[in-house]
Amino acid sequence: MHAQIAHTQAQRLLRQRNWLTGIAALLAVTTIVGIAGAASRDQEIILVPISTQPLTISSAGASAEYMELVTRDTALMLLNRSPEGLDYWMEQILGLADPSAHGELKADLLKIVAEQRGSDVAQAFVIRSLTVDPKALTSSVTGTLKTFVGAQVIASEERSFAFQWKYRGLRLSLRGFNQISDDPNQKDQSQ
């Protein structure tokens, strides 16, 4: 009887050993496949935007440094355009727009698109100075606006543009923009 009980226990232990060996082999294969997959996978590095100072965003408002970078990028995107990229250009600017100003901005942009589509007129803007007022949520850029027909420069003028912003939640969005006139008798024009 003792032999029968010992044999039954030995068989049970043998099954447990075989079961654990199978699980260990399965885990070893899974580990090898995982290591091989990780070794052959492309590496990704998260790049921090290039800035001279750390940027912060808080519910208290946008920092001057953050507003300066957003204004710079928006001005360059808005004022550097060519007929080939008008749809992308408009889509990107409307992506920055505050929902309450979306319709008015889209109407202004559609006028520009209608004027420029099918033409050879392009423009480039080089920023000379930029000022921001985080309390009033306004900013302005001054620089040289060059107009091209084909490869030929037909105009090169000093221009200033004002941007109005809205800060809601943790998002700075564009409410409007206009050209600042040097002539006090001339009304500012939307660009």
- Predicted confidence (pLDDT) per residue in 72-114, tens digit: 999 999 999 988 889 999 999 999 999 999 899 899 899 989 8
Closest CA to 122 of 93, 150, 161, 155: 150
Q: Into which CATH architecture does domain 58-180 fall? A: Roll (3.10)
The mean-pLDDT minimum among 65-74, 152-161, 179-188 falls in 179-188
pLDDT, mean of residues 107-127: 90
Q: What is the pLDDT of residue 54?
A: 63
Q: What is the pLDDT of residue 51?
A: 64
Q: What is the mean pLDDT of the chain?
A: 84
The mean-pLDDT minimum among 30-39, 69-78, 129-138, 175-184 falls in 175-184
Contacts of 34 by beta carbon, 8 Å cutoff, 6+ apart: none
Query: To the nearest whole percent, how much of the chain has pLDDT over 70?
Result: 86
Residue-level length of the chain = 191
Query: To the nearest whole percent, how much of the chain has pLDDT over 90?
Result: 45
Q: What is the pLDDT of residue 41?
A: 64
Residue 53: exposure state from Cβ atoms within 10 A (0-12, 13-18, ≥19): exposed
Residue 170: exposure state from Cβ atoms within 10 A (0-12, 13-18, ≥19): exposed
Q: What is the pLDDT of residue 32?
A: 92
Residue 169 has pLDDT above 80, yes or no: no
Beta bridge partners of 97: 174
Residue 66 has pLDDT above 80, yes or no: yes
Q: How far apart (Å, rounded) are the C-alpha atoms in residues 116 and 89?
A: 12
Domain locations in the chain?
1-44, 58-180
- Predicted confidence (pLDDT) per residue in 44-62, tens digit: 544 456 666 666 667 777 7
- How far does CA 129 lie from the centroid of its chain? 23
pLDDT, mean of residues 59-68: 82
Cα dihedral across residues 51, 102, 179, 115: positive or negative? positive
Amino acid type, 161: F
Listed in sequence order, the DSSP H helices in the chain are: 2-40, 64-79, 86-96, 102-116
Looking from the CA of 35 toward its CB, the CA atoms found within 13 Å total: 6
